[in-house]
Structures are given as C-alpha cells and as structure tokens.
Amino acid sequence: MKLTPLKCPHCGAKLKITGNTVLVACQYCGNAAEFTGESAVKLEQAIIKTEVQPDILLPLWLISYDAKISRLSSHPPRSLFQQEGTEVLYRRKDARPEDPDIPRRMLVAAFKVNNFINYTADLSYELSLKQDERLTEEQVKRPMEYSLCYYGHLDAQGMVEVLLRMLANKKSHNILDMDFDIGWRERKILWWPFKKDGDCWRDMIYEQRLLQSALEK
C-alpha cells in the first residue's frame, strides 16, 4: 500500500496517508485534515449534541454555497400507458416551470453505504429539509472514526446538485430539468448521532432511518 508524505496543515508535522484516505487525524497535534489528492487541508468539524448517548456517529458534509438556476424547463409526467396526443389526467391546467427556492446549504453523507442513491441521497435529502439553525453543535474533542469517511468534499459538491434537483422536483407537479451556477463557500463535517433501532440506525434528531445492512462493508 503506497504512503503519501504530506504535512499537517495545523502543526506542520509529517502525515502518512494511504491511497484511499479521505480524512486523517495528525498523530502529533490530533487535529483532522482532509486529503484532497495532492495536499492535506484543514478540516472544520463539529458534533450534533444530544442528551442521550448515541450508538454511532456518522459523518455528513455540511456544504454552504450560492446557487442560481441557469436553465429551467418543465414537462408533465408521462404514464407508461399514455397514448400519443392524449392529456395526462393528473396534470394541472396551469402547470408551468416554477422558480424553486434554493437552500443555501446542504447536508451530504460522507459515509459509504451499499446503495449510495437509495440510502445516502434520500437520507441527506430528508435531513437537509429538516435541518434547523438552532441545532446545538459541540466542538470535536476526541478521536473520531475517520475510516467511516468515504466521500470527500468534491464528491459532496456533486451530490449537492443532485439533491437540489430532488428538492425542486419533490415540490413540483411537473418534472423539472435544470442546470445550476454554483459558487462554493464553507464546508465542514458534522458528526450525526444515531441509535440502533431493530434492523436500522435511527437518527436521534429527526427520526430518519438507515438500514444497518446498508453500512456493511
């Protein structure tokens, strides 16, 4: 396994990073860094506070950005049984391309699952919808399970565009097709608390669930 020598962006000590590393903790100062492929950059992170001890903390990227819709088109949903030239029965007569509200930040799962779209995107989508500015965040003061971090911030930025389309289409009666111009801003890792709940991990804030088998390597 090839090791890449890099310097800690916090203290300057040498880091040894393997080829599949996304986040790493410095063995000297204890601070975390993100490995971008060519360098190690400072990582901002926090833990969502809960009154009950979680069974697991899962990492999610909190990505802030400024986004504008550069192209927007709309068409009614089409039934597999619809004949050419017939009207879709559940189409609104006044349906037209909406101008969707665009959130300024998004949560994107940084952990690996067996089916990324079904489990990671849906969970990120639901948490992003419900995220509250008043959630209490605590500073990370202990070693975290950085081996759980599989997706870097560039992966998260790509998923933000997917989630923006999901959010817009969830609110629309028609099918929206759009492109975005996005200016990326701050990013950090939020460690999100989950409890075991049958065959699921249950999010301790919003009651969202993730199959435990989805996290199996």
Q: Which of 75-79, 124-128, 130-134, 180-184 has the lowest mean pLDDT?
A: 75-79
pLDDT of 120 reads 78
Q: How many helices (H) and strands (E) does the chain have?
A: 2, 12
pLDDT of 112 reads 87
Rounded Cα–Cα distance for residues 129 and 175 (Å)? 20
Confidence grade of residue 196 (pLDDT, cut at 50, 70, 90) = very high
Residue with tokens 């929206």: 176
pTM of model > 0.85: no
| Mean pLDDT in residue range 32-37 | 85
pLDDT of 153 reads 93
Rounded Cα–Cα distance for residues 179 and 177 (Å)? 7
- 29 pLDDT exceeds 50? yes
Please give the residue that has the higher pLDDT: either 1 or 182. Answer: 182
Q: Of 3, 201, 21, nearest to 113 (Cα)?
A: 201
- 84 pLDDT exceeds 70? no
